[in-house]
Chains A and B, each alone.
Chain A
Amino acid sequence: MNIKTSRLCDGVYLAACKTEKFKSAVMTVSFAVPLDVETASGYSLLTNLLSLSTGSYNTMQSFSVIKDELYALGLDAFVQRRGEILLVRLEINTIADSFAFDGERVLYRATQLLGDAIFNPHLENGVFPTRNVETEKDCLIEEIESLIENKPSYAMFRARQIMCKGEPFAVDAGGETERVLALDGEQLIGFHRHIIENAPIFITYAGEADFEYVEECVKAHLNFTPRENKLPDSVVHTHCGEILRVREEMEMEQTVLILGFTTEMPDTPKKRAILTVYDEIFGGSPASKLFMNVREKEGLCYYCSSYPAARKNILFVSCGLEDGFEDKAIDAINNEVDEMKLGNFTDSDLQNAKNSIIRALKSFETDLNSINGYLLGQIINEVSSTVEENIELVLSVTRDEVIEFAKCVTPELIYILGGANE
C-alpha cells in the first residue's frame, strides 16, 4: 500500500492510496462546513439535487443510464457529521480499470461525471428547477421523519438533542422538516456557491491507480480554486450539574435506554488512544464489561454497548430492554462505570483490549471505505501519523491512564424511550 498526500492549492487537499487488492475503487470529495441548524437542511437538500441529475444529463433517467454504462457507477452525495463539522460529500464507487472490458479508462470518465455533478448542476434560469426542489424536499422530509422507524437510532438522536441542547453537536445532519419546507431553488444556489468557492475541500482516492493518474483525473475534472482552510473547533460540553431523567413514549415492543456521560475532552492523539482502550474494556466489544455482565450475566438485554463521541467529551451507552427493567439496567451499567473508576479490570483485559484495537488498525487496508476514512483523517486533521505510530500510541496506554480517564466519566442523562407507563 502506497499513500501520497498533496495540497493541490490553498484549502484543497488530495490523499490517495494505491492498492491492487480491489476490483473497484472509491473517490470521495468532502466540502467541510460548520454543523449548524440554520444551514444543515440546505446542504442536505443540495446533496439530493446534485446526485439526481447534472447539466449534461439533465433527467434522472439519462443520468442513471450513463452510470449503468460506466459499469453501474455508484455516484452518491450525502451529508455526514464529523464532530461539529458537516461534511458535504460526493463520492464515486467505480470498477477498477483493469477489470473493465476493452481497457476502458473508467476512472477518468467517472471523475468527469463527478465533476459534472459538482460544477455543472442541472439548473433552469440560473436556479435549481422548482419541480426537482419540491420532489427532493418531500424525499428529504421522509428521510428525516423515518428516523422513528429505527428506535435505537431515534433514541440516540433524542439523547444527543437533550444533553447537548444549544450546541452544534445536537444538530442532525439531515436538518429539520420546517427548515426543509422553507427552502427554495435560489437559496440552494447560495449553498452551492459556498461549497464551490469557499469551503475547504478534501479529496481521497483508494484503488489500483497510480497517484499521477489520480492527480490527472482530479486536475482535469475537479479543478477547484484556492480558499481558506478554516475548520470550526469542537465546543467543550459542560455538565449541566445534575442527572436529567427523561422518558418519552411511542408505540413499541422494546424499551430503549440511553445513558449519557460527560468525559475528558479527547483533544490529543494520546487522549484519543486512552479513550479507545477505555471503551474497548468498558462496552465496545463482545468481551467488554457491559456485554459480559449486563447481557450475559444479568440477561437483561440483547445489546448493551458504549459509543464515545470521537471529537467531543461525551460517551453514550445504549441498550434494549423489557419494559420495567430500566432501573435494574441503570444500576448494572453504573456499576460497571464504577468498576472502571476503581481499576477493577485485569492486566489481561487491558492487553486484550489493546490487541483488539491493534487488529482493527492493522486491518483498515482490507476495506476501501476504511482506507478512505483513514486518508480523510490524514488531510482533514493535517496529521501524518502512520498505522505503526498509532499502534505505538495504543501500546503506550497505561492502566493508570485508563483509570484516570474513567474517573472523569460522569453521568448526566438517563433517557428512556418506552412503550408503556413508567
Chain B
Amino acid sequence: MNNFKIIENEALKEKYYLKTLENGFKIAVIPKNTPSFHASVCCNFGGADTEYIKNGEKYTLPSGTAHFLEHKMFENEDGSDLFLDFDRFGGNANASTSFENTMYYFSCTDNFYENLEILLKSVSSLHCSNESVNKERKIIAREITMYEDIPLSTVTRSLYKLLYHDHPTTKPVSGTLETIEDITKETLFRAYNDFYVPENLSLCICGIVDLERVSEAVLRYFPNKSEKRPETTFPKEPLTVAKTQNIEYSSVASALYCIGFKCPPDSTDSLESYRKALAMRIAISLTFGRASDFYCSNYENGLLNERFYAGYTQSRHASHIVISGSGNEYESIKELAIKELEYRKKVFFTPEQVLREKKAAYAESITVFDSDEDFTASLASGAHLNYDEFDCINVLREITYEEIRDAIDSIDLKNCAISVIKKG
C-alpha cells in the first residue's frame, strides 16, 4: 500500500494510513467516505518558539512571529490572496496558531486535489514585501486589541505572568503591540526558512483519496531533503511562582478570577508524559468537576456558578492547574480550593468514584472521532508526537487508581497564584 502503514483500532472502528517521506514530511490519511474532504498541514512551530539554536548559533524571534507568519502564508507571489484561489475551487480554508504549532486547513466537497495543491503551495513558499508586512501589522494589531477586550483572556494571561518568571507562555501567541513592531520581512523569512522544513511539517487528510497521488503532490512542493529542525530553547524556569497576586479593573459583570497551581514541567511528546497529564486531569475533574462535593456544595452556597472551570494544562516546559470563575468571593474560593486539595491528599476518592470518572472521560475522549475536522487536525499535529489518539484511549483504559491519587499528591499547594479582574 505505497509504503503507508495501516494503524487501526477495531474497538473504535477507526483506522488511518501513515507514512514518513524520505525527506521527513509526514502524511496521514483517514479513509472515510464522507461528503466533505478535510486536509490540514501542521508546522511544528508556534508561539513558544521564540529562542532556538541552529548550527550551534543562538537566535531569538520577537513574540508573535509564528502567528504573523501564518497571516502572510496565504499570499501569492503577485500579492493576491490565496483565499480567492480556494474559493475558486469551492474550498473553505483557514489557519490558526497555538503555543505549540501552526495549522493550515481546508474542507471541500469537490475539487479535492486542486485545493490540496493550493494548500501545499501556500506552505511551501513565502512571498511578502515590506509594504504587505506593514499592512498586515495593522490587521494583527486589531486582532491583538480584540483579544485585549476579552476579560477572560486577559485574566488568564495575567495568571501566566504570575506563575512563570520568563517562560514564553507569559506572552500572547499573537504577540503584543510592541513585539509585532519588531517583526520585519527579514524576521519572517528567517523563521520560515528555519522552521518550515519537511521534517517539521505534516499533512493529514480525511476522505477517500489516492495515496500515491497525495505523496507525489507533497514531493513536488517539498522535493529536497530536510534540514534539521532547530532546537527550541526555554529560559531556565524556577519551580516556584513569580508573583502570587494581581488585580486589574475592567467592564465585567462581577469579578473574574483565575487561580493557578504551578506544577513541575514535563515534556509533551511522549506517551508517558501524556499518561501523567491524563492522571492529573482525571484527579482535577474528580476534585472540582460538576459532580464533585466542592462544586455542588459551593454552587448551592452561591459561591460558584456555571462559569466555574477547573482543568490542567501541560504544554512545552509549562504545566499548571487553572481554577477560574466569576464572583466577588474569589478569596474564599482560593482558600476552599487549597483546603479541598489538602483534604484529598489525605482522603482520596473511592475506587467506584474513580471508575465513574474514567467512564465519563472515555465517553468524552471518543467524541474526537465524531468530527472529521477534529480528528484530521489532531492527527496532523499529533504526527510530531510519539503517540496518537488510539494510544490515548488505551492509556485511559489502563491508567490506575494509584496513578490518579499520586497526581493529587504531587501538587505543591505553595505554588499558587491568583489573578483577578474586578468591575470598574
Contact = CB atoms under 8 A, between A and B. Distances in A.
B315 interface: no
Contacts, number: 173
Interface stretch (B44-52, B221-229, B357-365, B379-387): B357-365
Contact of B139 (A24, A101, A139, A301): A301
Nearest to A419: B149
A69 interface: yes
B253 A64 contact: no
B138 interface: yes
B59 to A, nearest CB: 29
Contacts of B109: 358-359, 362-363
A23 B369 contact: yes
A153 to B, nearest CB: 11
Interface string A292-303: 100110011111
A347 interface: no
Contacts of A72: 359-361, 363-364
A71 B305 contact: no
A307 interface: no
Given A60-B299, A320-B145, A287 B84 contact: yes
B285 to A, nearest CB: 10
Interface in A318-352: 320-322, 348, 352
Contacts of A138: 302, 305
Contacts of A285: 87, 92
Contacts of B249: 251
Contacts of B110: 355, 359
B370 A23 contact: yes
A139 B305 contact: yes
A142 B370 CA distance: 33
Contacts of B145: 253-254, 320, 322
Given A150-B150, A303-B146, A359-B109, 18 more contacts: A23-B12, A59-B296, A60-B300, A64-B291, A68-B291, A69-B356, A71-B362, A148-B251, A148-B252, A253-B146, A302-B139, A322-B145, A352-B88, A352-B90, A355-B87, A359-B36, A359-B108, A362-B109
Contact of A61 (B139, B291, B326, B366): B291
B35 interface: yes
Closest 8 CB pairs of A and B: A72-B360, A287-B87, A71-B363, A64-B291, A145-B253, A355-B90, A61-B296, A302-B142
Given A287-B83, A322-B142, A95 B366 contact: yes
A149 interface: yes
B419 interface: no
Contacts of B251: 148-149, 250-252
B186 interface: no
Contacts of B12: 23, 99
Interface string A147-163: 01111100000000000
Nearest to B360: A72
Say whether chain A's binding surface is mostly helix, strand, loop, or mixed. helix
A295 B88 contact: no
A395 to B, nearest CB: 13
A60 B359 CA distance: 20
Contacts of A359: 36, 90, 92, 107-110
Interface size class of B (residues with CB under 8 A): 35 or more
A369 to B, nearest CB: 10
A267 interface: no
B181 interface: no
A225 interface: no
Interface string B290-305: 1101001001101001
Interface string B86-108: 11111011100000000000011
Interface string B322-365: 00001100000000000000000000000000001101111110
B254 A149 contact: no
Interface size class of A (residues with CB under 8 A): 35 or more
A363 B142 contact: no
B116 interface: no
A65 B291 contact: yes
Given A287-B87, A362-B36, A365-B35, A149 B151 contact: yes
B148 interface: yes
B283 interface: no
A302 to B, nearest CB: 4
A286 interface: yes
Contacts of A69: 356, 359
A23 B250 contact: no
Contacts of A213: none
Contacts of B306: 139, 143
Contacts of B250: 251
Interface in B10-51: 12, 34-36
Contact of B148 (A135, A253, A360): A253
B372 interface: yes
A138 B326 CA distance: 12
A299 B83 contact: no
A253 B293 CA distance: 40
Contact of A348 (B88, B150, B256): B88
Contacts of A24: 363, 366-367, 370
A302 B136 CA distance: 9
Contacts of B213: none
B231 interface: no
A186 interface: no
A295 B139 contact: yes
B87 A352 contact: yes
A359 B369 CA distance: 21
Interface in A118-143: 131, 135, 138-139, 142-143
B366 A135 contact: no
Nearest to B304: A139
A356 interface: yes
A368 interface: yes
Interface string A104-115: 000000000000
A296 B256 CA distance: 35
Nearest to B177: A253
